[in-house]
Amino acid sequence: MAPQRRAASKAPEGNGAAERRNRSSTKKDRAPREVQRLWQRPWLRTAGLGAGLVLTALLLWSSLGADDGVAEVLARRGEVVAGRFIEVPCSEDYDSHRRFEGCTPRKCGRGVTDVVITREEAERIRSIAEKGLSLGGSDGGASILDLHSGALSVGKHFVNLYRYFGDKIQNIFLEEDFRLYREVRQKVQLTIAEAFGISASSLHLTKPTFFSRINSTEARTAHDEYWHAHVDKVTYGSFDYTSLLYLSNYLEDFGGGRFVFMEEGANKTVEPRAGRVSFFTSGSENLHRVEKVHWGTRYAITIAFSCNPDHGIEDPAFP
């Protein structure tokens, strides 16, 4: 059995130790009173409040995604881009799909132009979206209108607007609306064909091609969560080339909502501008997302093309 040690006896506390402890306690009590008196000085209180407001503003600015990790802006809202194209290496996504020589991407990249669709055309196209979406709209922040399939966001669901509203549709849309829609689609198709060196006739409009209206309302369903990064070729196997025509202006009509190409350490963004066309090959080389919209309303139309004629759809027709 191991021997037990006795605890050392505690020496009695002398008057000197007690006095030192009393002085220490007095200092501790005095400190809060000193801080209180300092804070009561007007100039110091004002400086403290100012610093607090600055810190709050910086935190709010950060939380709203003012920079959002973006390292480079490909196209600013205030500039007019005649044509800008960046080539990137193609991913292997296309290898798992049937290839169409002269169309399936071998040259991959992303482009932006402000000279294909006029601002007037963008305003007229936006009015089509506004008229259609006035019939419904999502309970969450993202509403969809697809004139091809008739899909329209209503509450937490989708309805077929042609069946749901019947003959009333003829009082909402004009035949001219569908003619303009077709002309804009053709212009975008020619732009993509020229940029990637392929024949426009090899491109087939594919689904889903749709209008989107996004605001800051909280998401109610998974369909409202538009901000997640994704690859179009993975999400929609028919996509080979994706384009977006913006119908509203960043920082004028809405805040947030920029289009972001995700790249390791160097995200790149496109700031929406009414009439601006952004286009890109649909594979993993162009992983992307949309920032959350913080205020206002963002309108755009996604126009997608496939090289596979089996995935082609017709332009919508006036009912």
**pLDDT (tens digit per residue) in 193-203:** 999 999 999 99
* The model's pTM: 0.79
**pLDDT (tens digit per residue) in 97-138:** 999 999 999 999 999 999 999 999 999 999 999 999 999 999
| Domain-located, residue 61 | no
- Total domains in the fold of the chain: 1
Give yes or no for a contact between 70 and 268, defined as CB atoms under 8 angstroms apart.
Answer: yes
Looking at the DSSP bridge assignments, the partners of residue 213 are 143, 299
CA distance 133 to 247: 14
Q: What is the CATH number of the domain that holds 171?
A: 2.60.120.620
| Domain-located, residue 8 | no
| Domain-located, residue 63 | no
| Domain-located, residue 24 | no
| Domain-located, residue 119 | yes
CB burial string 262-282: b at 16+ within 10 A, e below: eeeeebbbbbbbbbbbbbbbb
pLDDT computed for residue 14 by the predictor: 47
Which residues have CB under 8 Å from 193's CB, separation 6+? Answer: 199, 200, 202, 203
CA distance 92 to 156: 36
Closest by Cα among 220, 223, 225, 226 to 244: 226
Which residues in the chain land under pLDDT 70? 1-70
Task: List the structure tokens of 102.
Answer: 């002269």
pLDDT computed for residue 64 by the predictor: 41
pLDDT computed for residue 231 by the predictor: 98
pLDDT computed for residue 264 by the predictor: 84
Show which residues are catalytic: 298
Give the structural domain span for 284: 68-311
| Domain-located, residue 46 | no
| Domain-located, residue 41 | no
| Domain-located, residue 209 | yes
CA distance 232 to 288: 9
